[in-house]
Amino acid sequence: METRAPRRRVGRAERERQILDAAVAVFTERGYAGASMDAVAERVGVTKPVLYTHFGSKEGLLLACLTRARAELLEVTTAAVAAARDPEDMLRRGIRAFFDFLDAQGPGWTALYAEPGVSADAIEEIRGQQTAFIAALLAAQDPHADPQRLTGWAQVIVGACERLALWRDRDPSVSGADATEYLMDLAWTGLAARRR
């Protein structure tokens, strides 16, 4: 009689990480419309009801992927600016961390980002998070600046980062370092002039 090796029980947090990793891979390969809960479940090695228990629906799964990406993005940009020597270095490190994050995510980020009908609110939350983060960094460097002006600058930086990311997606010859310097050429010129 053949005996099977006992299955290792996986904790909830680990199982959710596995499911999200698989979901990003499936969304990347098939797009949101072409992705199925069956494909994600098969990749993880669980039943489809397990996915529904954790995330409720395919849309819930996509939104969970974006929520995780939002937290990871804030974590890497926060760590990057913590090591800065001065305000210019802080901005440069934060921008570069954004592009490095996208590079580390590969096509998965583009796949998640490209579902505006489903993920528009979640994408806007990421924009809002990064805008607030940058505005707070700018406020720390220029505490007397008008908060609305700081938010406006942060909006410009976030928007420029997004556009550069989309350009880099279409033209891989543009590196993260290139994109960072292009944005610094423009943004730091105005910010540095104001500081003087």
| CATH code for the part of the protein at 12-195 | 1.10.357.10
The residue among 62, 81, 114, 95 whose CA lies nearest residue 187 is 95
52/74 Cα distance (integer angstroms): 28
The verdict on pTM exceeding 0.75 is yes
Residue spans per domain, the chain: 12-195
pLDDT in tens, 158-189: 999 999 999 998 999 999 999 999 999 988 87
Which residue is listed with tokens 């600046």?
145
pLDDT of 196 above 80? no
pLDDT digits (tens, 9 = 90+) for 54-80: 999 999 999 999 999 999 999 999 999
Whole-number percent of the chain with pLDDT over 90: 66
| String of DSSP letters for 73-92 | HHHHHHHHHHT-SSHHHHHH
Which is more confidently placed, 30 or 11?
Answer: 30
